[in-house]
Chains A and B, each alone.
Chain A
Amino acid sequence: TQLLEQSPQFLSIQEGENLTVYCNSSSVFSSLQWYRQEPGEGPVLLVTVVTGGEVKKLKRLTFQFGDARKDSSLHITAAQPGDTGLYLCAGFLTTDSWGKLQFGAGTQVVVTP
């Protein structure tokens, strides 16, 4: 059982549509990160959120950290084929050191032209 549950597991949309990916846990995290992984490559960091309620924007991507620091969401506006990839949320438990990043199982996003 993973500490971070991501939903949905798979998302297929048309170019121009919006999408939201969710990351939930019953545990409290000191910070949470989102990564994107493309085929044949390692995950690449997109953002780190630290404060409960924090919202960060990265071009068409909007990241939110829940008030209680137990959940997060990633919203993509007007998705493009280049947004295709495996989106992973990951967090540091408040009880763990900076060394143990807990990963969710990921959401596979496919954006078709």
Chain B
Amino acid sequence: DAGVIQSPRHEVTEMGQEVTLRCKPISGHDYLFWYRQTMMRGLELLIYFNNNVPIDDSGMPEDRFSAKMPNASFSTLKIQPSEPRDSAVYFCASTRGGFYGYTFGSGTRLTVV
């Protein structure tokens, strides 16, 4: 199994631009999560899906952030417009059930200048 695949690994963009992060979860995992990690705030849950349906998006910072999961093998996290304070590492994770632990991707390091 290739694990959770995220793209791109690095993204540098100018303030005001749209950014789209992509994630392919492990096949058979019904849950998909988007996290953001910064030195100041650690790992923050942004949103999670169960069977492609958004369950809890209370961690999404504001309306500039949106996430979709059109099918079981693909999800996107979009930021529009991006701001310098969005700079962070964004992780996607999946699991077939919390007890089994989450499998994280390698993350996307986003820098907004």
Across-interface contacts of B101 in A (CB, < 8 A): 33, 35, 45, 48
Across-interface contacts of B50 in A (CB, < 8 A): 99
Are the C-beta atoms of A41 and B107 separated by less than 8 Å?
A: yes
Number of interface residues of A (CB under 8 A): 23
Q: Is the interface of B mostly helix, strand, loop or mixed?
A: strand
Task: List CB contacts (< 8 Å) of B21-58 with chain A.
Answer: 31, 33, 42-43, 45, 48, 50, 55-56
Q: Which candidate, A13-21, A62-70, A77-85, A103-111, is the interface stretch facing chain B?
A: A103-111
Are the C-beta atoms of A100 and B56 separated by less than 8 Å?
A: yes
Report the minimal beta-carbon distance from A44 to chain B, rounded to whole angstroms.
Answer: 7
Report the minimal beta-carbon distance from A107 to chain B, rounded to whole angstroms.
Answer: 11
Q: Which candidate, B64-72, B80-88, B90-98, is the interface stretch facing chain A?
A: B90-98
Are the C-beta atoms of B98 and A92 separated by less than 8 Å?
A: yes
Q: Is the interface of A mostly helix, strand, loop or mixed?
A: loop
Across-interface contacts of A31 in B (CB, < 8 A): 98-99
Are the C-beta atoms of B106 and A101 separated by less than 8 Å?
A: no
The residues of A with any CB-CB pair to B shorter than 8 Å are: 2, 31, 33, 35, 40-45, 48, 50, 88, 92, 97-101, 103-106
The residues of B with any CB-CB pair to A shorter than 8 Å are: 4, 31, 33, 42-43, 45, 48, 50, 55-56, 91, 93, 97-107
